[in-house]
Amino acid sequence: MTKTSPAKPIPKPKPKSRQELIELPEDSGAIFQAVGIVPGDVAFEEQGASITVGGKQYRIFYSTEHRNAFEALKINVKATGANQRLIVYPYVRHFPKKEQPYQLAFQVVGFIGKTPIEGCISQELQDFEFRIAGLWQFIPVCASPCITVLKNYSSERVNFIKEATVEEKVRFMKASHIPLLWSEPPVRPFRFNPRLEKEQQGKAAFVQITASFNLDQDTFEFKALRCLPASNSPKGLKAGKKDKAEVLAKSKIQQSKGDRCNKLGRSLAEAKPKV
């Protein structure tokens, strides 16, 4: 009878090595940001402005500090036509239900011609490319991991926040959560685990990347690392949980009042005798 040697256990595959996190020096110059170039046909109408890209229409708007650029864009569209190349910040509106798709719009920062301008972002980025830097993590209301872009810290902004109302503070410090497709990230996106204590949670890495805008999925795709992922991040401004809860409570009360007024208006209209 031939003896058989015992089967050798199949070794488990070694997990892919994860890149070590660096620590950003204070003078690194890193900041939170999300900015890129989107070409398309710009239209100004009574209900608002938009840019049409690949047959899809996106709302465009401006902040107070970029109003002049927006007005100059209107003049340029009249003079040169609808086709423009916009420098934009992506604006992503998430909803409470994770299964409900987010809405994407763009905040206009400026516009450029076809020829790259020295010192301008067009020297670095191509059409549909974005420079994104922020915290790599999952958020409760989005199925895809995001890069969270906080408001950058400055003494001027802190002074504004001290004088602002609670609603103004929360609105001003609202973070942007940019959904990102990244097939083999060097560091996993942080995910909050309710079963762990606070000191066991860990934290999100700060990543600086170049991404391309994916029109088909209304998301962004990783293209290249601009710097190694870091264990620390630049100083950013973030609204406190107490302030956010207060604003949310006030919003719900106002919405409830509005719903009651609408209901009362419909009841009075239905009860009105027909002539």
Quick one: pLDDT at residue 116?
Answer: 66
Quick one: pLDDT at residue 125?
Answer: 94
Q: Does some domain include residue 273?
A: no
Q: Does some domain include residue 159?
A: no
Q: Does some domain include residue 127?
A: yes
Q: Does some domain include residue 137?
A: yes
Quick one: pLDDT at residue 2?
Answer: 43
Question: CB within 8 A of 144, min separation 6: which ones?
Answer: 179, 180, 181, 219
Count the domains in the chain: 1
- Give the whole-angstrom CA distance, residue 184 versus residue 7: 34
Over residues 20-45, mean pLDDT: 93
Please provide the DSSP assignment of 51-80 as one string. EEETTEEEEEE--GGGHHHHHHHHHHHHHH
Q: Does some domain include residue 184?
A: yes
Over residues 168-194, mean pLDDT: 93
Confidence at 194, pLDDT banded by 50, 70, 90: confident
Q: Where are the alpha helices (DSSP H) in 164-240?
A: 166-172
Q: Does some domain include residue 262?
A: no
Q: Does some domain include residue 70?
A: yes
Contact 114/126 with Cβ under 8 angstroms? no
Whether pTM exceeds 0.85? no
Q: Does some domain include residue 65?
A: yes
- Give the whole-angstrom CA distance, residue 36 versus residue 53: 14
List the domain range (segments joined by +) for residue 66.
Answer: 33-148+175-236
